[in-house]
Amino acid sequence: MRELLPAMIFVGLLLVGWEMWVRARDIPTYLLPPPSDLWQAFIDQRHALPVHIRTTLGEALLGLLCASLLGVLLAGLIASVPLIRRVLYPLLVISQNIPVLVLAPLLAVWFGFGMTPKVVIVVLIGFFPIVVNTTDGLLRADREIVELVRSMGANRWQIFRTVLVPSAIPSFFAGLQIGAAYAVIGAVIAEWMGASSGLGLFITRSQRAFRTDQIFMAVVVIALISVMLFASVRLLAHFAMPWNRDGVQVTKTT
The tens digit of pLDDT for each residue in 94-114 reads 777 777 777 777 777 777 777
Number of structural domains (the chain) is 1
pTM score, whole prediction: 0.80
The tens digit of pLDDT for each residue in 21-39 reads 888 888 887 788 888 888 8
Q: Is residue 23 part of a domain?
A: no
Dist. CA 184–CA 225, nearest whole Å: 7
Task: Report percent pLDDT > 70 for the chain.
Answer: 94
Residue type present at position 45: Q
> In 10 A of CB 71, how many CB atoms?
26
DSSP for 95-160 reads HTTS-HHHHHHHHHHHH-SSHHHHHHHHHHHHHHHHHHHHHHHHHTS-HHHHHHHHHTT--HHHHI
H/E stretch holding 68? helix 49-80
Give pLDDT, residue 250.
43
Give whole-number Cα distances, 235 to 149, 151, 175, 248, in Å. Answer: 31, 37, 14, 10
Q: How does residue 222 score in pLDDT terms, banded at 50, 70 and 90?
A: very high
Q: Is residue 8 part of a domain?
A: no
What's 185's domain CATH number? Answer: 1.10.3720.10
CB 200, CB 56: distance < 8 Å: yes
Residue type present at position 53: I
Give pLDDT, residue 31.
81
The tens digit of pLDDT for each residue in 112-138 reads 777 888 888 888 888 888 988 888 888
Q: Is residue 19 part of a domain?
A: no
> In 10 A of CB 236, how many CB atoms?
15
CB 190, CB 200: distance < 8 Å: yes
Q: Is residue 194 part of a domain?
A: yes
CB 222, CB 209: distance < 8 Å: no
DSSP for 183-243 reads HHHHHHHHHHT--SSSHHHHHHHHHHTT-HHHHHHHHHHHHHHHHHHHHHHHHHHHHH-TT
Q: How does residue 244 score in pLDDT terms, banded at 50, 70 and 90?
A: low
Give pLDDT, residue 142.
74
Show the domain range for 146.
Answer: 54-240
H/E stretch holding 10? helix 4-25
Give pLDDT, residue 102.
74
The tens digit of pLDDT for each residue in 151-192 reads 777 777 777 777 777 888 888 898 899 888 888 988 888 888
Instruction: Please check the confidence at residue 251 and state whether its pLDDT lies above 60.
Output: no
Q: Is residue 184 part of a domain?
A: yes
Q: How does residue 8 score in pLDDT terms, banded at 50, 70 and 90?
A: confident
The tens digit of pLDDT for each residue in 192-202 reads 877 778 888 89
H/E stretch holding 39? helix 35-44
Dist. CA 201–CA 59, nearest whole Å: 13
